[in-house]
Amino acid sequence: VGRNADGYRDAWAPHAEAQGFLLLCPEFSQSEFPGARHFSQGNARAPRAQWRFAALEAAVDAALAEQGDAPGREFALYGHSAGAQFVHRHLLLTGAARARRVVIANAGWYSFPDAGTPFPHGLGGLDLDPAALRAALARDVVILLGEADTDPHHPSLRRDAMTDRQGVNRLERGRNFHAAAQALAAAEGVP
């Protein structure tokens, strides 16, 4: 939510240098991606052509081209807090086919994989691609949660009746999201 790509870059840079990987920390600025609708919710209420998720892959392709590499390569995708909200919505709505590894870290709340619940708390009312959702459910995804992230009054935690149905803190919400995704995968016959 701080939109502090430079802080993430600085924290990850020593690991990228030690392991020899290209690190990209795109900044989703307030001016270009105003509010939660255009950032963490990916503008998914708009027609699919206006979704913001493509901006991520465009940034990856631009960086690859700058390095003399061909666009379209796979990458690992990590998002924290509001970035985790963007990442999991990107995954559920598009399948995130190019992301070989997806890490969702400490999202404050989620879009549950439920077409009966209106977006952004569920996927209801969106132009859903059933194949993309099935692909997302089949992915090897890491959901990072802090076992002490249980403060229901944390200042950056969204609190309202609809969101609180997911749980009253980040830990509960993450566990409930995981359980809902596993249940839908089982119901759909997706391993």
Q: What is the pLDDT of residues 28-37, one digit of tens each?
A: 888 888 888 8
Sheet holding 141-144, edge to edge: 75-80, 99-105, 141-144
Phi, psi (rounded to 5 degrees) for 84: -70, -35
DSSP, collapsed to helix, strand or coil, labels residue 37 as helix
Please check the confidence at residue 43 and state whether its pLDDT lies above 90.
Answer: yes
Question: Is residue 30 within 8 Å of 3, Cβ to Cβ?
Answer: yes
Cα separations (Å) of 62 from 19, 30, 50, 68?
22, 21, 19, 10
| Stretch among 23-27, 89-93, 175-179 having the lowest mean pLDDT | 23-27
Question: Is residue 108 within 8 Å of 153, Cβ to Cβ?
Answer: no
Give the Cα separation of 164 and 143 in Å (integer): 19
Greatest CA span in the chain, whole angstroms?
50
Give the Cα separation of 116 and 107 in Å (integer): 21
What tens digit of pLDDT does each residue of 95-152 get?
A: 999 999 999 999 999 999 999 999 999 999 998 999 999 999 999 999 999 999 999 9
Closest to 139 in 3D by CA, of 96, 82, 78: 96
Give the Cα separation of 120 and 106 in Å (integer): 17
pLDDT at 30: 87
Please check the confidence at residue 1 and state whether its pLDDT lies above 80.
Answer: no
pLDDT at 37: 87
Q: For 135-160, b where at least 16 C-beta lie within 10 A, e where not — what string?
A: bbbebebebebeeebeeeeeeebeee
